[in-house]
Structure 1
Amino acid sequence: MATTSANVMFGSSLNFDHRIHEWSIFKSKLFQFCTVNDINETSDKSEVKRRAVLLSALSEDTYRILRDLVAPKEVDGAEYKVLLGHLDAHFTPKKSTFAERYTFYKAEQRPGEELPDWAARVRSLAQYCGFKTELDSVLRDRFVLGLENVKEKEKLFAESVDTLTFSKAIELAQSVRCARLALKKTQPSVPETPVFTVNTSRAQRNTRTSLEGCEVCGYKNHAKEQCRFINYTCQKCKQKGHLKKMCKSKVRRNYFIAEEDNDIIEDLTN
Protein backbone atom coordinates (compact mmCIF):
# COMPACT_ATOMS: atom_id res chain seq x y z
CA MET A 1 0.00 0.00 0.00
CA ALA A 2 1.26 3.42 -0.88
CA THR A 3 2.52 5.50 2.00
CA THR A 4 2.87 9.21 2.43
CA SER A 5 5.72 11.29 3.73
CA ALA A 6 5.43 14.51 5.69
CA ASN A 7 5.48 16.60 2.52
CA VAL A 8 3.60 14.40 0.00
CA MET A 9 -0.15 13.91 -0.31
CA PHE A 10 -1.96 11.68 -2.76
CA GLY A 11 -5.11 12.78 -4.54
CA SER A 12 -6.31 16.02 -6.05
CA SER A 13 -6.65 19.13 -3.94
CA LEU A 14 -9.96 19.57 -2.17
CA ASN A 15 -12.16 22.65 -2.49
CA PHE A 16 -15.61 23.37 -1.13
CA ASP A 17 -17.63 26.50 -1.81
CA HIS A 18 -21.23 26.13 -0.65
CA ARG A 19 -22.44 28.43 -3.45
CA ILE A 20 -21.32 26.10 -6.25
CA HIS A 21 -20.55 22.71 -4.68
CA GLU A 22 -22.72 20.02 -3.12
CA TRP A 23 -21.83 19.25 0.46
CA SER A 24 -22.57 15.51 0.34
CA ILE A 25 -20.25 15.06 -2.65
CA PHE A 26 -17.45 17.05 -1.05
CA LYS A 27 -17.84 15.12 2.21
CA SER A 28 -17.42 11.83 0.36
CA LYS A 29 -14.31 13.16 -1.43
CA LEU A 30 -12.93 14.32 1.91
CA PHE A 31 -13.24 10.81 3.36
CA GLN A 32 -11.57 9.29 0.29
CA PHE A 33 -8.73 11.80 0.48
CA CYS A 34 -8.09 10.95 4.13
CA THR A 35 -8.25 7.22 3.38
CA VAL A 36 -5.73 7.28 0.54
CA ASN A 37 -3.35 9.34 2.67
CA ASP A 38 -3.73 7.11 5.78
CA ILE A 39 -5.25 9.88 7.86
CA ASN A 40 -7.61 8.06 10.20
CA GLU A 41 -8.50 7.63 13.85
CA THR A 42 -5.38 5.57 14.42
CA SER A 43 -2.86 7.87 12.76
CA ASP A 44 -4.70 11.04 13.71
CA LYS A 45 -6.08 10.46 17.18
CA SER A 46 -6.11 14.17 17.96
CA GLU A 47 -8.07 14.90 14.72
CA VAL A 48 -5.67 17.75 14.01
CA LYS A 49 -4.78 16.59 10.48
CA ARG A 50 -8.36 15.87 9.45
CA ARG A 51 -9.50 19.21 10.82
CA ALA A 52 -6.70 20.96 8.94
CA VAL A 53 -7.60 19.17 5.68
CA LEU A 54 -11.25 20.17 6.10
CA LEU A 55 -10.64 23.80 6.98
CA SER A 56 -8.04 24.33 4.27
CA ALA A 57 -10.54 23.12 1.65
CA LEU A 58 -13.24 25.66 2.57
CA SER A 59 -13.69 28.86 0.61
CA GLU A 60 -13.56 32.12 2.53
CA ASP A 61 -17.35 32.55 2.62
CA THR A 62 -17.92 28.95 3.68
CA TYR A 63 -15.23 29.24 6.35
CA ARG A 64 -16.99 32.32 7.68
CA ILE A 65 -20.28 30.43 7.93
CA LEU A 66 -18.60 27.60 9.84
CA ARG A 67 -16.97 30.10 12.18
CA ASP A 68 -20.38 31.58 12.97
CA LEU A 69 -21.87 28.13 13.51
CA VAL A 70 -19.30 27.15 16.17
CA ALA A 71 -19.18 30.56 17.87
CA PRO A 72 -18.30 31.50 20.55
CA LYS A 73 -15.85 28.63 20.26
CA GLU A 74 -12.93 29.08 17.86
CA VAL A 75 -12.88 26.99 14.70
CA ASP A 76 -9.26 26.01 15.27
CA GLY A 77 -10.12 24.54 18.65
CA ALA A 78 -13.27 22.63 17.66
CA GLU A 79 -13.16 18.88 17.18
CA TYR A 80 -13.18 17.54 13.64
CA LYS A 81 -16.41 15.56 14.15
CA VAL A 82 -18.11 18.61 15.68
CA LEU A 83 -17.21 20.67 12.63
CA LEU A 84 -18.59 17.99 10.35
CA GLY A 85 -21.79 17.91 12.38
CA HIS A 86 -22.30 21.66 12.01
CA LEU A 87 -21.68 21.52 8.27
CA ASP A 88 -24.02 18.53 7.91
CA ALA A 89 -26.83 20.30 9.72
CA HIS A 90 -26.36 23.53 7.77
CA PHE A 91 -25.78 22.28 4.24
CA THR A 92 -27.89 19.13 4.14
CA PRO A 93 -31.37 20.22 3.01
CA LYS A 94 -34.36 18.89 4.90
CA LYS A 95 -36.23 16.32 2.83
CA SER A 96 -39.97 15.67 2.62
CA THR A 97 -40.58 12.00 1.95
CA PHE A 98 -43.85 12.65 0.17
CA ALA A 99 -42.29 15.37 -1.98
CA GLU A 100 -39.39 13.08 -2.88
CA ARG A 101 -41.77 10.26 -3.78
CA TYR A 102 -43.86 12.61 -5.89
CA THR A 103 -40.77 13.55 -7.90
CA PHE A 104 -39.72 9.90 -8.12
CA TYR A 105 -43.05 8.64 -9.46
CA LYS A 106 -43.26 11.45 -12.04
CA ALA A 107 -39.80 10.81 -13.48
CA GLU A 108 -39.48 9.64 -17.09
CA GLN A 109 -36.55 8.92 -19.35
CA ARG A 110 -35.46 12.07 -21.14
CA PRO A 111 -35.06 12.17 -24.94
CA GLY A 112 -31.54 11.01 -25.76
CA GLU A 113 -30.84 9.79 -22.22
CA GLU A 114 -28.95 6.49 -22.27
CA LEU A 115 -30.39 3.51 -20.39
CA PRO A 116 -27.57 3.34 -17.79
CA ASP A 117 -27.99 7.07 -17.13
CA TRP A 118 -31.75 6.66 -16.76
CA ALA A 119 -31.26 3.75 -14.34
CA ALA A 120 -28.76 5.78 -12.30
CA ARG A 121 -31.17 8.70 -12.10
CA VAL A 122 -33.94 6.41 -10.87
CA ARG A 123 -31.64 5.20 -8.06
CA SER A 124 -30.71 8.77 -7.18
CA LEU A 125 -34.34 9.93 -7.06
CA ALA A 126 -35.20 7.10 -4.66
CA GLN A 127 -32.46 8.07 -2.22
CA TYR A 128 -34.71 10.05 0.14
CA CYS A 129 -38.02 8.34 -0.59
CA GLY A 130 -37.87 6.02 2.40
CA PHE A 131 -38.34 2.82 0.39
CA LYS A 132 -37.21 -0.13 2.45
CA THR A 133 -37.87 -3.75 1.57
CA GLU A 134 -39.80 -2.71 -1.55
CA LEU A 135 -36.89 -0.65 -2.94
CA ASP A 136 -35.97 -3.02 -5.80
CA SER A 137 -39.61 -3.31 -6.90
CA VAL A 138 -40.24 0.42 -7.06
CA LEU A 139 -36.93 1.00 -8.83
CA ARG A 140 -37.89 -1.60 -11.42
CA ASP A 141 -41.39 -0.18 -11.86
CA ARG A 142 -40.23 3.40 -12.33
CA PHE A 143 -37.49 2.30 -14.73
CA VAL A 144 -39.90 0.27 -16.87
CA LEU A 145 -42.86 2.66 -16.81
CA GLY A 146 -40.66 5.67 -17.52
CA LEU A 147 -38.93 4.21 -20.58
CA GLU A 148 -39.09 6.42 -23.65
CA ASN A 149 -38.78 3.75 -26.36
CA VAL A 150 -41.95 1.76 -27.09
CA LYS A 151 -40.13 -1.41 -28.21
CA GLU A 152 -38.12 -1.60 -24.99
CA LYS A 153 -41.22 -0.98 -22.93
CA GLU A 154 -43.20 -3.67 -24.81
CA LYS A 155 -40.47 -6.22 -24.15
CA LEU A 156 -40.48 -5.54 -20.42
CA PHE A 157 -44.27 -5.43 -20.23
CA ALA A 158 -44.26 -9.03 -21.43
CA GLU A 159 -42.17 -10.13 -18.45
CA SER A 160 -43.61 -11.48 -15.22
CA VAL A 161 -43.66 -8.98 -12.39
CA ASP A 162 -42.94 -11.82 -9.97
CA THR A 163 -39.56 -12.64 -11.47
CA LEU A 164 -38.37 -9.42 -13.10
CA THR A 165 -35.84 -7.54 -10.96
CA PHE A 166 -34.47 -4.04 -11.42
CA SER A 167 -31.11 -5.28 -12.70
CA LYS A 168 -32.80 -7.77 -15.04
CA ALA A 169 -35.03 -5.03 -16.42
CA ILE A 170 -31.98 -2.92 -17.24
CA GLU A 171 -30.31 -5.90 -18.93
CA LEU A 172 -33.36 -6.71 -21.07
CA ALA A 173 -33.90 -3.10 -22.10
CA GLN A 174 -30.27 -2.83 -23.18
CA SER A 175 -30.51 -6.06 -25.20
CA VAL A 176 -33.57 -4.75 -27.06
CA ARG A 177 -31.83 -1.47 -27.80
CA CYS A 178 -28.68 -3.19 -29.05
CA ALA A 179 -30.71 -5.50 -31.30
CA ARG A 180 -32.71 -2.58 -32.66
CA LEU A 181 -29.60 -0.55 -33.46
CA ALA A 182 -27.88 -3.57 -35.05
CA LEU A 183 -30.93 -4.26 -37.23
CA LYS A 184 -31.05 -0.65 -38.31
CA LYS A 185 -27.45 -0.88 -39.55
CA THR A 186 -28.21 -3.95 -41.70
CA GLN A 187 -31.16 -2.33 -43.49
CA PRO A 188 -30.30 -0.64 -46.82
CA SER A 189 -30.69 3.05 -46.82
CA VAL A 190 -33.72 4.25 -48.74
CA PRO A 191 -33.24 7.45 -50.73
CA GLU A 192 -35.50 10.19 -49.66
CA THR A 193 -38.41 10.93 -51.97
CA PRO A 194 -38.11 14.49 -53.23
CA VAL A 195 -40.87 16.73 -52.08
CA PHE A 196 -42.36 18.88 -54.77
CA THR A 197 -43.98 22.10 -53.72
CA VAL A 198 -46.99 23.08 -55.73
CA ASN A 199 -47.04 26.80 -56.27
CA THR A 200 -50.59 27.80 -56.94
CA SER A 201 -50.37 30.91 -59.03
CA ARG A 202 -53.02 33.57 -59.19
CA ALA A 203 -53.95 32.45 -62.71
CA GLN A 204 -54.49 28.87 -61.46
CA ARG A 205 -56.63 30.11 -58.60
CA ASN A 206 -58.62 32.20 -61.00
CA THR A 207 -59.13 29.25 -63.31
CA ARG A 208 -60.38 27.10 -60.41
CA THR A 209 -62.68 29.91 -59.32
CA SER A 210 -64.01 30.42 -62.84
CA LEU A 211 -64.96 26.75 -63.07
CA GLU A 212 -67.09 27.17 -59.98
CA GLY A 213 -68.77 30.31 -61.33
CA CYS A 214 -68.43 34.00 -60.57
CA GLU A 215 -70.12 35.04 -57.32
CA VAL A 216 -71.06 38.40 -58.83
CA CYS A 217 -72.80 37.47 -62.09
CA GLY A 218 -72.82 33.66 -62.22
CA TYR A 219 -70.84 33.17 -65.42
CA LYS A 220 -67.89 30.73 -65.46
CA ASN A 221 -65.49 32.46 -67.82
CA HIS A 222 -63.83 34.69 -65.23
CA ALA A 223 -63.09 35.11 -61.53
CA LYS A 224 -64.95 37.35 -59.10
CA GLU A 225 -62.12 39.92 -59.04
CA GLN A 226 -62.33 40.26 -62.85
CA CYS A 227 -66.10 40.67 -63.08
CA ARG A 228 -67.23 43.93 -64.67
CA PHE A 229 -70.37 43.96 -62.54
CA ILE A 230 -68.58 43.85 -59.19
CA ASN A 231 -69.45 47.47 -58.40
CA TYR A 232 -73.16 47.17 -59.29
CA THR A 233 -75.89 47.27 -56.65
CA CYS A 234 -78.21 44.29 -56.21
CA GLN A 235 -81.88 45.23 -56.88
CA LYS A 236 -83.06 42.68 -54.35
CA CYS A 237 -80.99 43.33 -51.20
CA LYS A 238 -79.64 46.75 -52.24
CA GLN A 239 -76.09 45.60 -51.39
CA LYS A 240 -73.15 46.32 -53.66
CA GLY A 241 -71.02 43.52 -55.12
CA HIS A 242 -73.40 41.13 -56.95
CA LEU A 243 -76.34 41.01 -59.30
CA LYS A 244 -79.88 40.12 -58.32
CA LYS A 245 -79.65 36.65 -59.81
CA MET A 246 -76.75 35.82 -57.45
CA CYS A 247 -78.35 37.32 -54.32
CA LYS A 248 -78.50 34.95 -51.33
CA SER A 249 -80.56 37.16 -49.01
CA LYS A 250 -84.12 36.31 -48.14
CA VAL A 251 -86.56 39.16 -48.90
CA ARG A 252 -90.29 38.91 -48.12
CA ARG A 253 -92.33 38.98 -51.29
CA ASN A 254 -95.69 40.74 -51.82
CA TYR A 255 -98.55 38.31 -52.42
CA PHE A 256 -99.79 40.20 -55.47
CA ILE A 257 -96.45 41.13 -57.07
CA ALA A 258 -94.57 38.33 -58.83
CA GLU A 259 -90.81 38.11 -58.88
CA GLU A 260 -89.28 39.31 -62.09
CA ASP A 261 -86.80 37.26 -64.03
CA ASN A 262 -83.34 37.29 -62.51
CA ASP A 263 -81.10 38.29 -65.33
CA ILE A 264 -78.30 40.73 -65.86
CA ILE A 265 -80.36 43.13 -68.02
CA GLU A 266 -82.87 43.64 -65.21
CA ASP A 267 -80.14 44.48 -62.76
CA LEU A 268 -78.66 46.99 -65.12
CA THR A 269 -81.88 48.74 -66.17
CA ASN A 270 -83.70 49.06 -62.82
Structure 2
Amino acid sequence: MSDKSTSCPLPPSNFSIDINASNMPLAWRNFKTSLGIYMIANDLGKESDKRKVAILLQTIGSDALQIFYSFNTEIDKITYKDLLAKFEDYFTPRVNISVERHKLFNRKQGPDEEIETYATDLKNLSIQCNFEGLADDIVKDIFSWNLNSSCSYIRERILIEKPSSFDAAVSLAKTLRNTRLEAKALSSHEVSVVSRQSRHSRLTKRGQESHRQRSHNRQRSQPSRKS
Protein backbone atom coordinates (compact mmCIF):
# COMPACT_ATOMS: atom_id res chain seq x y z
CA MET A 1 0.00 0.00 0.00
CA SER A 2 1.34 3.44 -0.93
CA ASP A 3 1.89 6.05 1.76
CA LYS A 4 0.51 9.51 0.92
CA SER A 5 2.95 11.09 3.33
CA THR A 6 5.96 9.85 1.35
CA SER A 7 4.81 10.13 -2.25
CA CYS A 8 2.60 12.27 -4.46
CA PRO A 9 2.21 12.74 -8.22
CA LEU A 10 4.62 15.12 -9.89
CA PRO A 11 3.08 18.49 -10.79
CA PRO A 12 2.50 19.39 -14.47
CA SER A 13 5.58 20.58 -16.37
CA ASN A 14 4.05 24.04 -16.95
CA PHE A 15 3.31 24.55 -13.26
CA SER A 16 6.12 27.06 -12.57
CA ILE A 17 5.72 30.84 -12.46
CA ASP A 18 7.01 33.07 -15.25
CA ILE A 19 9.06 35.69 -13.42
CA ASN A 20 9.20 37.80 -16.61
CA ALA A 21 5.43 37.99 -17.05
CA SER A 22 4.06 41.40 -18.03
CA ASN A 23 1.44 41.13 -15.27
CA MET A 24 3.39 39.69 -12.35
CA PRO A 25 0.58 39.91 -9.74
CA LEU A 26 -1.68 37.91 -12.06
CA ALA A 27 1.06 35.36 -12.78
CA TRP A 28 1.57 34.88 -9.03
CA ARG A 29 -2.14 34.59 -8.41
CA ASN A 30 -2.46 31.91 -11.11
CA PHE A 31 0.50 29.97 -9.70
CA LYS A 32 -0.81 30.17 -6.14
CA THR A 33 -4.23 28.94 -7.27
CA SER A 34 -2.68 26.03 -9.18
CA LEU A 35 -0.51 25.16 -6.18
CA GLY A 36 -3.54 25.17 -3.88
CA ILE A 37 -5.44 22.87 -6.25
CA TYR A 38 -2.45 20.52 -6.45
CA MET A 39 -2.13 20.39 -2.65
CA ILE A 40 -5.84 19.65 -2.19
CA ALA A 41 -5.97 17.07 -5.02
CA ASN A 42 -3.12 15.15 -3.42
CA ASP A 43 -4.33 15.60 0.18
CA LEU A 44 -1.17 17.45 1.20
CA GLY A 45 -2.76 20.04 3.46
CA LYS A 46 -1.84 18.20 6.67
CA GLU A 47 1.77 17.58 5.71
CA SER A 48 4.58 19.15 7.74
CA ASP A 49 5.67 22.71 6.98
CA LYS A 50 9.03 21.38 5.89
CA ARG A 51 7.46 19.18 3.23
CA LYS A 52 5.01 21.83 2.03
CA VAL A 53 7.86 24.35 1.74
CA ALA A 54 9.78 21.80 -0.33
CA ILE A 55 6.75 21.24 -2.60
CA LEU A 56 6.32 24.98 -3.10
CA LEU A 57 9.97 25.42 -4.05
CA GLN A 58 9.88 22.37 -6.31
CA THR A 59 6.87 23.64 -8.24
CA ILE A 60 7.64 27.35 -8.45
CA GLY A 61 10.51 26.86 -10.90
CA SER A 62 14.28 27.31 -10.90
CA ASP A 63 14.14 31.01 -11.82
CA ALA A 64 12.05 31.77 -8.74
CA LEU A 65 14.52 29.91 -6.53
CA GLN A 66 16.87 32.86 -6.97
CA ILE A 67 14.17 35.00 -5.38
CA PHE A 68 13.91 32.54 -2.48
CA TYR A 69 17.66 32.86 -1.89
CA SER A 70 17.21 36.63 -1.52
CA PHE A 71 14.95 36.02 1.50
CA ASN A 72 18.03 34.91 3.47
CA THR A 73 16.32 31.96 5.10
CA GLU A 74 16.66 28.18 5.14
CA ILE A 75 14.11 25.63 3.93
CA ASP A 76 13.76 24.11 7.40
CA LYS A 77 13.59 27.46 9.20
CA ILE A 78 10.51 28.99 7.58
CA THR A 79 6.86 27.95 7.67
CA TYR A 80 4.84 27.32 4.54
CA LYS A 81 2.52 30.23 5.40
CA ASP A 82 5.41 32.65 5.93
CA LEU A 83 7.09 31.61 2.68
CA LEU A 84 3.87 32.15 0.74
CA ALA A 85 3.61 35.60 2.34
CA LYS A 86 7.17 36.50 1.31
CA PHE A 87 6.53 35.52 -2.30
CA GLU A 88 3.21 37.38 -2.15
CA ASP A 89 4.98 40.58 -1.07
CA TYR A 90 7.62 40.12 -3.76
CA PHE A 91 5.30 39.46 -6.69
CA THR A 92 2.46 41.80 -5.69
CA PRO A 93 4.05 45.05 -4.53
CA ARG A 94 1.80 47.86 -3.42
CA VAL A 95 0.06 49.18 -6.52
CA ASN A 96 -1.00 52.70 -7.41
CA ILE A 97 -4.74 52.22 -7.69
CA SER A 98 -5.21 55.46 -9.64
CA VAL A 99 -2.73 54.30 -12.27
CA GLU A 100 -4.35 50.86 -12.51
CA ARG A 101 -7.79 52.41 -12.93
CA HIS A 102 -6.44 54.76 -15.59
CA LYS A 103 -5.14 51.73 -17.52
CA LEU A 104 -8.53 50.05 -17.28
CA PHE A 105 -10.63 53.07 -18.26
CA ASN A 106 -8.40 53.73 -21.28
CA ARG A 107 -8.26 50.13 -22.51
CA LYS A 108 -10.00 50.20 -25.89
CA GLN A 109 -10.72 47.34 -28.24
CA GLY A 110 -8.22 47.27 -31.11
CA PRO A 111 -9.45 47.59 -34.74
CA ASP A 112 -9.08 43.84 -35.43
CA GLU A 113 -9.12 42.56 -31.85
CA GLU A 114 -11.41 39.66 -31.00
CA ILE A 115 -14.13 40.33 -28.42
CA GLU A 116 -12.86 37.45 -26.26
CA THR A 117 -9.31 38.86 -26.05
CA TYR A 118 -10.57 42.36 -25.26
CA ALA A 119 -12.94 41.10 -22.55
CA THR A 120 -10.29 38.92 -20.89
CA ASP A 121 -7.81 41.79 -20.72
CA LEU A 122 -10.40 44.11 -19.16
CA LYS A 123 -11.14 41.49 -16.52
CA ASN A 124 -7.44 41.07 -15.72
CA LEU A 125 -6.82 44.84 -15.56
CA SER A 126 -9.69 45.26 -13.11
CA ILE A 127 -8.08 42.93 -10.54
CA GLN A 128 -5.76 45.66 -9.21
CA CYS A 129 -8.39 48.43 -9.24
CA ASN A 130 -9.97 47.64 -5.86
CA PHE A 131 -13.55 48.20 -7.05
CA GLU A 132 -14.80 45.49 -4.67
CA GLY A 133 -18.56 44.94 -5.10
CA LEU A 134 -18.81 47.40 -8.01
CA ALA A 135 -16.19 45.65 -10.15
CA ASP A 136 -18.59 43.68 -12.37
CA ASP A 137 -20.80 46.67 -13.22
CA ILE A 138 -17.84 48.95 -13.90
CA VAL A 139 -16.04 46.47 -16.17
CA LYS A 140 -19.32 45.77 -17.98
CA ASP A 141 -19.76 49.49 -18.73
CA ILE A 142 -16.15 49.91 -19.87
CA PHE A 143 -16.54 46.88 -22.14
CA SER A 144 -19.47 48.57 -23.87
CA TRP A 145 -18.01 52.09 -23.99
CA ASN A 146 -14.67 51.09 -25.48
CA LEU A 147 -15.78 48.70 -28.21
CA ASN A 148 -14.29 49.75 -31.55
CA SER A 149 -16.36 51.61 -34.15
CA SER A 150 -17.13 48.47 -36.16
CA CYS A 151 -18.95 47.10 -33.09
CA SER A 152 -21.23 50.09 -32.55
CA TYR A 153 -24.25 47.86 -33.24
CA ILE A 154 -23.21 45.72 -30.25
CA ARG A 155 -22.92 48.79 -28.01
CA GLU A 156 -26.45 49.85 -29.00
CA ARG A 157 -27.92 46.44 -28.20
CA ILE A 158 -26.17 46.33 -24.82
CA LEU A 159 -27.67 49.73 -23.97
CA ILE A 160 -31.12 48.49 -25.01
CA GLU A 161 -31.05 45.03 -23.41
CA LYS A 162 -29.13 46.01 -20.24
CA PRO A 163 -27.44 42.65 -19.51
CA SER A 164 -27.23 41.93 -15.78
CA SER A 165 -23.51 41.15 -15.62
CA PHE A 166 -20.19 41.51 -17.42
CA ASP A 167 -20.31 37.87 -18.55
CA ALA A 168 -23.83 38.36 -19.88
CA ALA A 169 -22.71 41.45 -21.84
CA VAL A 170 -19.79 39.53 -23.37
CA SER A 171 -22.07 36.61 -24.24
CA LEU A 172 -24.54 38.98 -25.94
CA ALA A 173 -21.69 40.64 -27.86
CA LYS A 174 -20.40 37.30 -29.15
CA THR A 175 -23.90 36.21 -30.19
CA LEU A 176 -24.48 39.44 -32.10
CA ARG A 177 -21.07 39.20 -33.79
CA ASN A 178 -21.61 35.58 -34.84
CA THR A 179 -25.10 36.33 -36.14
CA ARG A 180 -23.79 39.21 -38.25
CA LEU A 181 -20.96 37.07 -39.66
CA GLU A 182 -23.42 34.30 -40.55
CA ALA A 183 -25.77 36.79 -42.22
CA LYS A 184 -22.87 38.29 -44.18
CA ALA A 185 -21.74 34.84 -45.33
CA LEU A 186 -25.30 33.97 -46.42
CA SER A 187 -25.63 37.27 -48.29
CA SER A 188 -22.33 36.67 -50.09
CA HIS A 189 -23.51 33.20 -51.13
CA GLU A 190 -26.79 34.59 -52.49
CA VAL A 191 -24.97 37.29 -54.45
CA SER A 192 -22.65 34.65 -55.89
CA VAL A 193 -25.60 32.49 -57.00
CA VAL A 194 -27.40 35.46 -58.60
CA SER A 195 -24.18 36.50 -60.32
CA ARG A 196 -23.69 33.02 -61.80
CA GLN A 197 -27.30 32.89 -62.95
CA SER A 198 -27.02 36.34 -64.53
CA ARG A 199 -23.79 35.38 -66.31
CA HIS A 200 -25.38 32.17 -67.58
CA SER A 201 -28.39 34.15 -68.84
CA ARG A 202 -26.16 36.65 -70.66
CA LEU A 203 -24.13 33.87 -72.27
CA THR A 204 -27.32 32.08 -73.34
CA LYS A 205 -28.71 35.28 -74.84
CA ARG A 206 -25.47 35.98 -76.68
CA GLY A 207 -25.46 32.42 -78.01
CA GLN A 208 -29.01 32.79 -79.29
CA GLU A 209 -28.24 36.13 -80.93
CA SER A 210 -25.10 34.70 -82.51
CA HIS A 211 -27.07 31.75 -83.86
CA ARG A 212 -29.71 34.02 -85.36
CA GLN A 213 -27.04 36.21 -86.92
CA ARG A 214 -25.29 33.22 -88.51
CA SER A 215 -28.59 31.93 -89.87
CA HIS A 216 -29.36 35.35 -91.30
CA ASN A 217 -25.93 35.60 -92.92
CA ARG A 218 -26.30 32.16 -94.52
CA GLN A 219 -29.65 33.12 -95.96
CA ARG A 220 -28.23 36.31 -97.45
CA SER A 221 -25.24 34.50 -98.94
CA GLN A 222 -27.40 31.93 -100.80
CA PRO A 223 -28.17 32.96 -104.47
CA SER A 224 -31.81 33.52 -105.18
CA ARG A 225 -33.45 30.99 -107.53
CA LYS A 226 -34.81 32.22 -110.85
CA SER A 227 -38.10 30.84 -112.02
- TM-score (ref. length: structure 1): 0.58
Where has structure 1 moved over 6 Å in runs of 4 or more?
none
Match of 2:82 in 1: 82
Corresponding residue of 2:44:
39
| Corresponding position of 2:65 | 63
Aligned residue for 1:127, secondary structure, equals helix
- The one-letter amino acid paired with 1:181 is L
Q: Which amino acid is the alignment partner of residue 167 of structure 2?
A: S
The within-5 A match list for 1:98-247 is 98-148=98-148, 149-159=151-161, 164-189=164-189
Give the superposition deviation at 1:102: 0.3
Deviation of the 1:100 alpha carbon: 0.7
How far 1:50 sits from its partner (Å)? 1.0
Spell out, residue by residue over 1:164-208, the C-alpha distance to the aligned partner (whole angstroms, 9 max, x if none).
5433322322232122112112113557xxxxxxxxxxxxxxxxx
Q: Which residue matches 1:18?
A: 19
Give, in angstroms, the shift of residue 49 of structure 1.
2.0
C-alpha distance in 1 between matches for 2:63 and 2:171? 46
**Cα drift, residue 64 of structure 1:** 3.5
Letter in 2 for 1:109: Q
Flag the 1:77–1:116 CA change in 2: closer, same or farther, 3 A: same
| 1:134 positional shift | 2.4
Question: TM-score with structure 2 length normalisation?
Answer: 0.68
**More divergent stretch after superposition (142-151 vs 110-119):** 110-119
Q: Which has the higher relative contact order, 1 or 2, with Cα contacts under 8 A spaced 6 or more apart? A: 2
Partner-residue secondary structure (3-state), 1:157: helix
Give the Cα–Cα distance (whole angstroms) in 1 for the partners of residues 6 and 75 of structure 2: 24
CA contact (8 A) 1:11 1:36 kept: no
Aligned pair count reads: 182
Cα deviation, residue 116, structure 1: 3.1
The separation in 2 between residues aligned to 1:57 and 1:168, in whole angstroms, is 36
**How far off its partner does 1:17 sit?**
5.6
Q: Give 5+ residue unaligned stretches, structure 1.
A: 192-270
Q: Calculate percent identity across the aligned residue pairs.
A: 27
In 1, the alpha carbon distance for the partners of 2:118 and 2:88 equals: 28
Q: Indicate how the Cα distance of structure 1 residues 17 and 157 shifts in structure 2: closer, same or farther if over 3 A, else same.
A: closer
Structure 2 SS opposite 1:178: helix
> In the superposition, relative to structure 1, how do residues 4 and 115 fare at CA in structure 2: closer, same or farther (>3 Å)?
farther
Q: 1:116 to 1:5 in 2, by over 3 A?
A: same
1-side partners of 2:75 and 2:69: how far apart? 6
Q: Give the distance between the partners of 2:17 and 2:164, measured in 1 at CA.
A: 42
Instruction: State the structure with more CA Rg.
Output: 1
Aligned mate of 1:51, from 53, 57, 61 = 53
What letter corresponds to residue 151 of structure 1 in structure 2? Answer: Y
Q: Is the 8 A contact 2:16 2:59 kept in 1?
A: yes
Structure 2 residue aligned with 1:263: none
Query: How far apart, in 2, do the equivalents of 1:166 and 1:17 lie?
Result: 29
* Contact map agreement 1:10 1:33 (CA 8 A) in 2: no
- Quick one: distance in 1 between partners of 2:20 and 2:130? 28
Q: Contact 2:16 / 2:61 at 8 angstroms: preserved in 1?
A: yes
